[in-house]
Amino acid sequence: MNRWLISLVLAAGILYAPCLKAGFVYDDEWSIVRNASLRDFQPLRYFTDPSTAADPASGLQGDVYRPLLTTFFAAQVHFWGLRPGPFHAVNLMLHLINGLLVAILLQRLLKNPWGVLIGAGIFLLHPVQVQTAAWISQQSNTLSAFFILCACLCFVPAARSTTRRTILGSACFAAAVFTKEHALVFPLLLGVLYLWDEKHVAIKTAWPLGVIAAAYALARTLLLPHWAQIDGGNRNLYDDFSLGVLSFPVYIAKLLLPLALRPSYRYPEGDPWIVLGSFLIVCAFLWGMARGRKRFPSLSVSMAWIFIGLLPALQIIPIRAFVAERFLYYSVMGLALGVGAGIFQVKRWRWPLGVWLVFLVCQSARAVPHWKNEYALWRHAVAVEPSNPFAQACLANVESRPDKAIFHYKQALLHHPAEDVAFTAKNNLAWLYLRKQEIAPALHWGQAALQMRPRNAATLYNLCLIHLARHDRRKARVFYRQIAQQVPPQSPLLADLSRRFK
C-alpha cells in the first residue's frame, strides 16, 4: 500500500508540475512582490504590526492577522528573492505533504487500506485544490493545513495520547491559527471525530486549544480595527446572512461536480426566493447529517467536517468573497473521509464513484494551465463568467492592447460593479484614452472618476495631464496644486508634473 501511496503523490506532483513555471498572480503582487516589509526579516514586527501583511496601497493589510505566514514569506524572500519558481515549489511540496498526512490520518480512522488511498487521492487531486496548489498566496492554506493535520495526528487516536503529544498538538494548532484564521475550526473538527467514536480523539487533553484560540482572538481584536474583512459599520446583517446561505449550495456543488471553476465569482442579486431555497438546502444538509449519525456514521461525520470547514467562508464574519474554491481546502478532507469510508461499504457505488474520480482528475488537469500567468487566469475567468465585473476589470488591467483593455473596463461597468471596481475602471479608462490621444473621452472618464473620489492623487494626475493636452494650463495648475496637497514632496507624480510645467 505504501508503494501505491508514493505513486499517488508522484502522480499529483506531475499533474501540478506546470505550476513550477508559473508567475505571481492575483494577490501575490500585493502580499509578496510589492510588500516592502518582507525585504527585511523582522518576525517580531510581523506579530505586532498587521500592516506588514500586504503593500499599503492594496487596502488589504487591515483584513487579516497572519503573522506566521508573513514570516514564512519573508524567509523565502531572504533565501531566493522574488523568483516565483521556488515559491511555487514550496507551496506544491506542502500540498503533497498534506496529502501524505491525510493518508496517515485516514489510516487511523478507517479499516480499508484502499479507502485510505482513494481518500488521499481525492484530497490531492480534487479540482478545487488547484486554486490552492497553483497560487503562491495560498501558502496560507497549505501551511495552516500542515499544522492542523500535525495537530490532529497528535490527538488521534486517543490511545496514543501523552503529555508530550498534547503539548506538540497545541503548539501546532497555535502555529496554524497564526498562519490563517480558518484554522480556528480545528477544535470543532476534533469534537466531530470524538462524537463519531470516543476512541478516536483524546478530547480531555485538548483543553489548551481553547486557550490558544482565545489568545489569537485577543491579539487580533487588539491589532485589527475590525474582525470582518469589510468594515462592519456599513454592513447589513440580512445581506451577510443571504450571501452565506447562497454560497453554501455553490460550495457543495463544487465539491460534488466541479464545473466552471474560476478565481472569482460574481456576487448574486439576492432574490428572496432564491435565498429561501438555498436556506432549505442548508437545512436539508444539516438534517441529513443528523439523521445519518446512527445508520451511516462515517457519512454523517464527513458531512459535519465539510460543513465546519466551510463555516469561516459563510459570511458569519464578513469576507471579501462570495465563493472562493480555496475555502474548500479543509472541507475536501471531510469529503475524502466520507468517500474513503463509504466506497467499499455500498457496492453499487463503486462504478459511479470510479467514473467520478476519473472526472475529478481530468478537471484538475484542465484547470492547472489557467494559473500560469495573470492573463491566462483572467481570460479564463471572463470566458466562464462574462458578467463578472471584477474579472473583466482584472483582465483589462493585464491586457497589453489599449483597445481590448478599454472594452473589458466598459464591460465591467455594464455589470453593476462594486464601488472600488467602478472607480478603478473609470480612472483607468481616462488614462487609456489619454494614451490614445482621445482627449474628449479621457476627460469624460476622468471627471467620472473624480466624482467618485475627489481627492484621489491618480485621478487628479490624469486630469492634470488631460488639461495639459487640451492646452488649458490654468485648469491643469488647479489639479497640480491639489496633488501637491495629497502626496509627499518627493512623490514621482509631482516630479513628473513639475517637468511638464517647465
pLDDT tens digits along 294-341: 788 888 999 999 999 999 988 887 788 889 999 999 999 999 999 888
pLDDT tens digits along 91-129: 999 999 999 999 999 998 887 888 899 999 999 999 999
Instruction: Give the contacts of 259 (CB within 8 A, at least 6 positions apart).
Output: 363
Residue 60 has pLDDT above 80, yes or no: no
Distance, CA of 87 to CA of 25 (rounded, Å): 12
Residue 277 has pLDDT above 70, yes or no: yes
DSSP state of 502: -
For residues 272-292, average pLDDT:
92
Instruction: Give the contacts of 358 (CB within 8 A, at least 6 positions apart).
Output: none
For residue 291, the model assigns a pLDDT of 86
**Spatial CA neighbour of 381 closest among 258, 260, 254:** 260
DSSP state of 268: P
For residue 492, the model assigns a pLDDT of 82
- Domain covering 388-501 in this structure, CATH number: 1.25.40.10
Pull the grid cell for residue 223.
Answer: 491589532
- Alpha-carbon radius of gyration of the chain: 25
pLDDT tens digits along 114-167: 889 999 999 999 999 999 999 999 999 999 999 999 999 988 876 566 788 888
pTM of the model: 0.91
For residue 1, the model assigns a pLDDT of 63
Distance, CA of 480 to CA of 499 (rounded, Å): 12
For residue 316, the model assigns a pLDDT of 81
pLDDT tens digits along 456-476: 889 998 998 899 888 888 888
pLDDT tens digits along 429-439: 999 999 999 99
pLDDT tens digits along 6-27: 999 999 999 999 999 999 999 8
Alpha carbon distances (Å) from 281 to 249, 277, 278, 328, 370 = 7, 6, 5, 18, 31
Residue 271 has pLDDT above 90, yes or no: no
What is the domain partition of the chain in residue ranges?
2-371, 388-501
The owner of cell 464574519 is 317
- Which helix or strand (DSSP H or E) is residue 88 part of? helix 84-109
For residue 206, the model assigns a pLDDT of 75
For residue 209, the model assigns a pLDDT of 86
202 near 194, Cβ under 8 Å? no
- The distance from CA 447 to its chain's CA centroid, rounded to whole angstroms, is 34
Residue 203 has pLDDT above 90, yes or no: no
